[in-house]
Amino acid sequence: MFIFILCVFITLITLKLKLVYICRENMSYITNNEIEKYVYNILPDSPSILKELEKTAKSRNVPIVGPMIGRLLYIFASVSNAKHILEIGTAIGYSAIWLGLAVKRNKGRVKTIEIDRDIANEAIKNIRRAGLAKIVEVINGNALKILPKINDKFEIIFIDDSKKNYPKYINLCMKLLHKNGLLIADNALWRGEVALESKSENADSIARFNELLMRRMHSLIIPARDGVAIGIK
């Protein structure tokens, strides 16, 4: 009996280690790999500048939301008729361009915050090339210091920044959202690690953010790509 229990225990530990490896090494395991491949294959090509940035990001290993989540952001911004959007974490400007294209029809504006000066300057160049220089404003600096100084209100706030700061953004973003405004956060599943007992620092921060979001807003998590959390104020 003892040997049987020991074998079961070892099997469970082995499965858990395999799950940890899968979650940490391959985010495609969050959804069925064939389904994810199918979804990406039927997506129309991104607009030219965005398609170019997708190739740039892949060659340089720059994290971007990619065409599926980019289109999701575009749809949310379009159907909500958003005129004021805030993004936390610009990177090379990929998602800011998707959002800018959406608000352009409503003569809206996007503010996006990037802490790295060189990356912010690269994003400015990409946004200018996309013809959105008058629509998307890049702010260089630490979002935790900048957010309390912003007086505007936004229909959408999108977070794709340092994961350890995610829980700190909840209260700051709530103050800046219009009633019925959307708070959207990328990487809400962090390669599946949020579901594990043993989490990395990033996964633990995101898990705490998810719990706060569920308590503070009407919200859900879409298990697409690396997970997208969405809450409505």
pLDDT tens profile 97-133: 999 999 998 899 999 999 999 999 999 999 999 999 9
pLDDT in the model for residue 13: 34
Per-residue pLDDT, averaged over 192-215, amounts to 94
Residue 193 pLDDT > 60 = yes
Question: Over the stretch 18-38, which tens digit does the pLDDT of each residue have?
Answer: 444 444 444 444 777 888 889
What domains lie within the chain, and their CATH numbers?
2-232 (3.40.50.150)
Measured CA to CA, the distance from residue 173 to residue 24 in angstroms comes to 29
Burial-class residue 18 by CB neighbours within 10 Å (0-12, 13-18, 19+): exposed
pLDDT in the model for residue 6: 32
pLDDT in the model for residue 34: 87
Higher pLDDT residue, 228 or 23? 228
Question: Over the stretch 128-174, which tens digit does the pLDDT of each residue have?
Answer: 999 999 999 999 999 999 999 999 999 999 999 999 999 999 999 99
Mean pLDDT taken over the chain: 88
pLDDT in the model for residue 61: 93
pLDDT in the model for residue 219: 97
Residue 171 has which token pair?
């209260």
pLDDT in the model for residue 28: 45
Per the listing, tokens 């959408």 go with 156
Per-residue pLDDT, averaged over 54-59, amounts to 95
Burial 22-60 (b: 16+ CB within 10 A, else e): ebeeebbebbeeeebeeeeeeeeebeebbeebbeebeee
Q: To the nearest 10°, report the CA torsion of 190, 20, 223, 26.
A: 80
Measured CA to CA, the distance from residue 217 to residue 220 in angstroms comes to 9
Strands 84-88 and 109-114: parallel
Measured CA to CA, the distance from residue 65 to residue 73 in angstroms comes to 10
What values do phi and psi take at 142, rounded to 5? -80, 120
Residue 222 pLDDT > 90 = yes
For the chain, where are the E strands, in sequence order? 84-88, 109-114, 136-140, 154-159, 177-186, 218-222, 228-232
* Percentage of the residues of the chain whose pLDDT score is greater than 70: 87
- 94: CB partners within 8 A, 6+ apart: 50, 53, 54, 57, 64, 65, 70, 126
pLDDT in the model for residue 25: 46
Per the listing, tokens 């298990």 go with 223
- In this prediction, residue 92 has a pLDDT band, given cuts at 50, 70 and 90, of very high
pLDDT in the model for residue 18: 42
Q: Are 62 and 85 in contact (CB under 8 A)?
A: no
Q: To the nearest 10°, report the CA torsion of 49, 103, 161, 159.
A: -140
Q: CA quadruple 80, 86, 87, 90: dihedral positive or negative?
A: positive
Per-residue pLDDT, averaged over 173-200, amounts to 94
